[in-house]
A and B are shown apart, each in its own frame.
Chain A
């Protein structure tokens, strides 16, 4: 096998795992864009999504194609409840307080999952075909290819929605200036709820895909931290940044793991994070806020 073919295969694998990062990063971006809250519990919502799918598909014996939308909806409902019950009463409080609330929320979700499903790692029922996929001569894991396609579609849909849909425009307006959005008749609290519901539903969907590849465990939320790197590099409020950042990080991690060794992955990833932030502190595609006095 030629080295070039190997390089292409490694790159495709990197793009695939990067797509999963993009999808998770999208959850951070959606919530931050509308509410200016960095929701550190995204990783745990993702984990919950995996467990909800497990409960519906393995526990209740539903078809995976029914269980997937139910898990996504479940994630959205949790997001809605959290926003209405915990985050909204915190409006006006210091950003660090809200941030810490999301940290606590993550721990609560892990605890709940451990109480309900126990601490054992588990495998999800298979719903993606296992036959190998070849692009020309290059091998791609089918699950990773599916993750790539799903992430690509979801991110594109969100890019279009934000551009043309009224709700998307309302969300952008709220993100730009809450007071002005209020005065235009936009239901700002409604936008907040919507952002949390969609963000958490996206995270739950990513959890199902991630669980299909690597299985589920109460600690799988740690994946959210890698996605946080993506949004910091890509820009906390940029959907395009989440997409490009995720794919880039996936590629870099894949190349590093292959040609330098897995032990260099974290070193290279976080070194790049530092360099990227030094060059563009607001992220590659983030909004550069200028305050004029």
Chain B
């Protein structure tokens, strides 16, 4: 049985004292609006997590330097998840028990789908994140989720719109990784291609972690497509794919989606990267367009190149902050319902040039993007289309 001794009493008192100090510290920060984050700072998606965190922190700094939201500072509370769903959930549980959190950044589709019932149950917060999964772009099924860009199906929609315009009736090959991420837009792309009169002549699925792509390139040679569209990859095995296809004299153009569009990654690939195209919802760090003052601010804050994940984190924080601002301006309480409703009132919103056109968030996504092409000699992505907005209606 428990026996009270002087030593246990001392221990209890010390514990109580430290608890009181802890509570005091937490109270001192009560005024902050906390953005929670399950961020993949290490692991297979580590490159994205590091960039996303930098982008979010910078936008938060900009808001706080201007007095915060309704006098309250924004603060990012995050921990590394190594891009593992169980760890993301553990971080979520930890952070939400430490702080009052109404805005959250999740690191994967798996995490978003896992935590969605909890979001719906608690109704406390909205969540954005690194996933652009088409399935999450359903306000009925996922009322508290949003994505700071087009979903993967919409990204393919933007690419197909561009292809249909450039090469009517083009022959396409889809190359997707055998992952949830990779398989995401296949069904919708088939339908969209048929609608636009484009022909999918081959669908190639690569096993996760596969290294050599010789057999896939042989399939490509038999299919002779005008365009080869990749999805579900970051970089590897795209360069090898392109290099071998060039060796075989294939004329096909290669395209990718957001997470494989970082220009510094392609710069490292060199000449083989020349001509790689893809859809990008945001401007690149070095884009000095006149109507993009926020890009100038970013370059002042960070003199070195920032990856695409940075822009995604930056815009995610911007959408979160804008929603919170609208809720507080209405004199409402911050919760999932009010924040999402406020986010859906965002219409023709100026992102300061992060996206090239004023944006709206009618549902869970921002279906806007632009097609870029990599110029190996300049080491940069060059816009080859205007901004394309998909009409969701």
Chain A contact residues, CB within 8 Å of chain B: 1, 6, 9-10, 12-14, 16-17, 20, 110-111, 114, 118-123, 126, 130-132, 139-144, 210, 213-215, 217-219, 222-223, 226, 253-254, 257-258, 261-263, 265-266
Contact = CB atoms under 8 A, between A and B. Distances in A.
A132 to B, nearest CB: 4
A93 to B, nearest CB: 28
Interface in B11-65: 41-44, 46-47, 49-50
A262 B307 CA distance: 30
A13 B218 contact: yes
Contacts of B205: 261-263
B202 to A, nearest CB: 11
A219 B44 contact: yes
**Closest 4 pairs (CB-CB, A-B):** A119-B46, A13-B214, A17-B212, A265-B207
Contacts of B221: 1, 139
Given A17-B214, A258-B215, A121 B234 contact: yes
A6 B214 CA distance: 12
Contact of B214 (A16, A126, A223, A263): A16
Nearest to B43: A219
Contacts of A141: 212, 214, 217, 244, 247
B322 interface: no
B352 to A, nearest CB: 26
B42 A121 contact: no
A210 B237 CA distance: 11
B42 A17 contact: no
Nearest to B45: A119
Contacts of A126: 270
Interface stretch (B106-114, B164-172, B261-269): B261-269
Given A121-B235, A213-B240, A215-B239, A265 B218 contact: no
B211 interface: yes
A54 B212 CA distance: 20
Interface string B183-219: 0000000000000000000001111111110111111
A258 B219 contact: yes
Nearest to A141: B214
Which one of B209, B211, B265 has the greatest number of beta carbons of chain A within 10 Å? Answer: B211
Contact count band on B? 35 or more
Contacts of B240: 143, 213-215
A191 to B, nearest CB: 32
Given A261-B205, A262-B178, A266-B207, A254 B50 contact: no
B297 interface: no
Contact of A119 (B42, B204, B207): B42
A20 B212 CA distance: 10
A214 B222 contact: no
B248 A132 contact: yes
B385 interface: no
B243 interface: yes
B273 to A, nearest CB: 8
B272 to A, nearest CB: 8
A223 B239 contact: no
19 contacts: A6-B218, A9-B218, A10-B218, A13-B214, A13-B215, A114-B46, A120-B307, A139-B218, A139-B248, A141-B214, A144-B212, A210-B211, A213-B212, A214-B212, A214-B236, A223-B209, A257-B210, A258-B218, A262-B204
A131 B210 CA distance: 23
Contacts of A139: 218, 221, 248
Nearest to A124: B268
Contacts of A6: 218, 222
A67 B354 CA distance: 41
Nearest to A10: B215
Given A6-B222, A120-B47, A257 B211 contact: no
B203 to A, nearest CB: 9
A258 B218 CA distance: 9
B285 to A, nearest CB: 15
A5 to B, nearest CB: 10
B43 to A, nearest CB: 7
Nearest to A131: B247
Contacts of B218: 6, 9-10, 13, 139, 258
Contacts of B216: 257, 262
Contacts of B244: 141
Contacts of B43: 119, 218-219
B268 A123 contact: yes
B97 to A, nearest CB: 27
Given A13-B214, A213-B211, A265-B207, A120 B178 contact: no
